[in-house]
Amino acid sequence: MKKLFLAATICTLVSALPAYGAGVSFEHARALMQERADMLKMSQADIEQRQQQVKESRSLSGPKISLNAQQVEGRKDINMSFDNPLAGAGLVQIGSALQLPPSVTGFLGQNKFKIDFEEDISGPRASVDLIWPIYTGGAISAKQNATQAALRQARAGFDKTKDELDSLLVQKYFGVQLARSVEKLRADLLKQQERDLNRAKRFEKAGMIAKIERMSAQVNRDAAERDFIGSQTDRKVAETELADLLREETIGKLDTPMFVTKNLKTLSYWQDLALANNPTLKALEAQHEQARMGVQAAKGSYHPQVYLFGHYNMIKHYLTLPEPDWIAGIGISFTLWDNRDRSARVGSAQALVNKAQAAQSQARNEINKVVEVAWLKSNQALEQYRLSTSSIDLAKENVKLRERSFKEGLSTIDDVNDARNKLIAAQVAQRVAAYRFVVAYSLLHAASGTMLDFMDTFKRPDITVVEQ
């Protein structure tokens, strides 16, 4: 009864394994991952921030208009003294003739005029002020170009994160396909070992085989169950990792199978593609541009600053005599001595340019190396897949021969078990080779910045779909 229950459980598990064309495709899984991945949301937020900075920098060359309001408290002492050029011309007599007041006549007779009084300048002030930069020595254009470069860097970072997640999804998605495929092989082997054990028990009872043969069948069956349980664990781990990546509670059927393709193209083709499209290189190019703009901005401090200005007082009642109703003009400012070492500032910015150039050179070497490794691993996996085909064909024929010989009493149960183990080892090796090819092939596309082309591979007629 226990064995029947185990056999029924195995059949249920096998029937529950995914079938091609009946579940979630890789494209759908990719869409789910990109929709829910927090890393992509962070990169997208960085892009939005850089976009706002670009928008902000566009108005740097425009005017700045401000409204100012103040409440002023103060007084102005006015003391003035000047000579009377007509004092000797008989102003006193003229004043008397005109019958002016004695105080005025006496004032006209003085040699000096004196004005001495206090003016209350307290009161509100309100004004509109304008500053419009005309020439800044390239500082404004450097800032604008730097923000544009920062936006390109953020977009390249987003593409890099997306490619890395796509490569990770390839590993997890097809890792589930591999684990489920191996579990199915192990389940089939366990069913065969169950049949062999039952047959061995009947043969022992009939006196056709020795007890040790039946015991060997029992050992082989138990070993197959251990392997099957291990494959179940591997499958559950793979499904858990994929579910975590997709933010799903469980993983159902997956309908994109593992595949191989012989149309791999040359190493130089992939390396040229990577140098033109790799997002890491694009990000470093943007950093280099920002460093160059830093040098331009630093050198701008040696240039004069030319600007337009304007000032309009809105409350005129409290204005003093020197304060204008409005004033406008053009100004120029040139720094003769700065409390910051401008030459050191330029040198620091130039050092960043040198650093960016070195980083670009290092990145090109590393990317070429990554592409070469991925290309070599792809070729190796293709070769392993091809060579495993003959091993599978031989192992299948050997299993048929050993099973027929066992029925005729010419082979032992261990001979049959060895033949089956060789077959399943070859089948697993072929599936592992296909998995390694898919992973290496995706890394090749990710390093080349062409993951969309990898998605198109599933639709190509020249691919070989691996048996699930």
Q: What is the 3-state secondary structure (H, E, C) of 233-290?
A: HHHHHHHHHHHHHHCCCCCCCECCCCEEECCCCCHHHHHHHHHHHCHHHHHHHHHHHH
What is the helix (H) or strand (E) element at residue 424, kind and residue range?
A: helix 413-447
Supply the pLDDT for residue 371: 96
The mean per-residue pLDDT over the stretch 174-194 comes to 95
Are 164 and 433 a contacting pair, CB within 8 Å? no
Give 409 or 376, the one with higher predicted confidence: 376
pLDDT of 83 higher than 90: no
Which range (47-56, 366-375, 398-407) has the least confidence? 398-407
pTM (whole model) above 0.85: no
CA-closest candidate to residue 110, choices 87, 79, 85: 87
Among the residue ranges 109-118, 229-238, 362-371, the one predicted with the least confidence is 109-118
Q: Is 272 exposed, middle or buried (0-12, 13-18, 19+ CB in 10 A)?
A: middle
pLDDT at 267: 94
Mean pLDDT of 373-400: 94
Q: Are 137 and 300 in contact (CB under 8 A)?
A: yes
Domains and CATH numbers, the chain: 2-62+138-303+340-465 (1.20.1600.10), 80-115 (no CATH)
Query: Which of 14-18, 166-170, 342-346, 460-464 has the least mean pLDDT?
Result: 14-18
The phi, psi pair for 124, rounded to 5°, reads: -80, 155
Tell me what the mean pLDDT of segment 276-297 comes to.
94
Answer whether residue 330 shows pLDDT above 90: yes
pLDDT at site 101: 62
The answer to whether the Cα torsion of 170, 172, 176, 178 is positive or negative is positive
| Gap between the Cα atoms of 292 and 78, Å rounded | 57
Closest alpha carbon to 143 in 344, 333, 332, 289? 289
- What confidence category does residue 213 fall into, taking pLDDT thresholds of 50, 70 and 90? confident
Q: What was the pLDDT predicted at 409? A: 72
Mean pLDDT of the chain: 86
Q: How far apart are the first and last CA of the chain?
A: 31
* 8 A C-beta contact, residue 147 and residue 53: yes
The contacts of residue 32 (CB under 8 Å, 6+ apart) are 246, 247, 248
Distance (Å, whole) CA 243 – CA 255: 16
Q: What is the mean pLDDT of residues 284-292?
A: 95
Structure confidence at residue 322 as a pLDDT band (50, 70, 90): confident
Residue 301 has pLDDT above 70, yes or no: yes
Please compute the mean of the pLDDT values over residues 98-106 and round it to a whole number: 57
Residues with Cβ within 8 Å of 435's Cβ and at least 6 positions away in sequence, in order, are 174, 175, 177, 178, 258
Beta-bridge partners for 124: 71
Q: Which of 255, 284, 428 is nearest to 356 (CA)?
A: 284
Q: How many other β-carbons are positioned within 10 Å of the β-carbon of residue 294?
A: 21
Q: Residue 434: enclosing H or E segment and its boundaries?
A: helix 413-447
- Which band of pLDDT confidence, cut at 50, 70 and 90, is reported for residue 98? low
% the chain with pLDDT above 70:
87
What one-character DSSP code corresponds to residue 300?
Answer: G
The torsion of the CA quartet 128, 129, 134, 135, rounded to 10 degrees, works out to -160
Q: Tell me: the pLDDT tens digits for 389-412?
A: 999 999 999 999 988 887 777 778
Q: Compute CA distances 150 → 25, 144, 281, 448, whole Å.
A: 36, 10, 14, 22
Q: Distance between CA 446 and CA 454 in Å, rounded? A: 9
- The reported pLDDT for the residue numbered 25 is 92
Q: What is the CA radius of gyration of the chain?
A: 44
pLDDT, average across residues 173-190: 95
Tokens 């953020």 belong to residue:
154
243 to each of 44, 173, 249, how far by Cα in Å? 23, 9, 6
Contact 161, 39 (CB under 8 A): yes
- H helix intervals, 300-409: 342-407
Query: Is the per-residue pLDDT at 108 higher than 60?
Result: no
Work out the pLDDT band at 1, boundaries 50, 70, 90. very low
Q: What's the whole-number mean pLDDT along residues 89-108?
A: 56
pLDDT of residue 10: 42
Q: What is the pLDDT of residue 8?
A: 45
- Give 103's pLDDT tier (boundaries 50, 70, 90): low
Residue 2 and residue 255: Cα distance in Å, rounded?
34
Confidence of residue 67 (pLDDT cuts 50, 70, 90): very high
How far is the C-alpha of 284 from the C-alpha of 152, rounded, in Å?
A: 10
Can you tell me the mean pLDDT for 137-165? 94
The yes-or-no verdict on residue 3 having pLDDT over 50 is: no
Q: What is the dihedral of CA 31, 33, 34, 38, to 10 degrees?
A: 160
* Structure token pair of residue 379: 């070729």
Contact 385, 412 (CB under 8 A): no
Average pLDDT over residues 299-314: 92
Sign of the alpha-carbon dihedral angle for 46, 48, 52, 55: positive
State residue 405 phi and psi, 5-degree precision: -65, -35
- Paired strand residues for 446: none
Q: Give the tokens for residue 95.
A: 């004043």
